[in-house]
Amino acid sequence: MPSQPPSQTHARHVVFAVAPELVLLDACGPVEAFWRAELTMRVASGIRGGDPCAYRTTLASVAGGVLPTFAGMPIVTERLDTLDPATIDTLIVPGVPIDDTTALQPELVAWIAAAAPHARRVASVCTGAFYLAAAGLLDGRRAATHWRNAAQLARRFPRIEVDPEPIFIRDERDGRVVWTSAGVTAGIDLALALIEEDCGHAVAMQAARRLVVFMKRPGGQSQFSEALAAQVSAGAEFDALHGWMAANLHGELSVERLAEEARMSPRTFARRYVDAVGRTPARMVAAMRVEAAAHALVQSRRPLKRIAADCGFGTEQNLRRAFERSYGVLPLDYRARFAAS
């Protein structure tokens, strides 16, 4: 059940604690979603002007003032140390570009660790999960982040159960609620879920309609990340083979056939492939076929029977089963939701 909508004098204070090089959409997407919910609540309550009735949002950084963002567009922020943590309803940490050499801002980590216990709930968008993790807020919890950073988060913070698939995760334990979300636009999905929890389905739906986005997207991150991303870890050893596989998805792609193409014995090939790519040849073939079918569905109007044959599924039934298993939706539903026209 959603909590009761706030009164005009008790709008929920949502604070975005941001670091330099902020991924702009990680913050502005959720801010816009909360504002659309605010507009919906104002219309429903007949409020014109005055204080916010549902949400007030604050973007704050360690130094305050003008903050550079990854997109190059500066934003103006308040100083974090001017905020009273007791007034924070929801603390959200958006992401920044992160690689193996990126150092987190220690002052921001310390502020998050100190302020989080005062907030009703804490959330992250994309790589903001690294800041929550550094502050000790994700230990023993299940968490999401951008699919490209999931393995890195798991390596860097081994006490976290990192799940690279969900668009967002709500983890409640020990009386604390922590939300984490996938990359970039997933912050909007997260914000809509928070709005639904606070103000009910109708308000969240109106906010989604105003934003022209889905209230709840089907499937997980795998529908937006490339199924072939695992190839990166393989280096050059299987590059030619992967190209050949992509061009021959309609044909027989057994381990024996792939081993023949790679000029190895089946046993040696299977072992070296798993070591290099991190998944079995059969799983890679399945991922490539589903990805190819997904692209065909949104980029063409070809019938399912043709797509199933072209991508190596054989029958429409096999294609449907693969889509439900991978994306949680049927192929035609996927086309309806993600096709350009």
Q: Which residues are catalytic?
A: 126
The CA distance from 186 to 105, in Å, is 23
Tokens 């308000």, residue? 203
Q: How far from the centroid of its chain's Cα atoms is residue 23's Cα?
A: 13
The CA distance from 124 to 183, in Å, is 10
Strand, helix or coil for residue 21:
coil
Q: Is the separation of the CB atoms in 183 and 145 below 8 Å?
A: yes
- Tokens at 16, concatenated: 């975005």
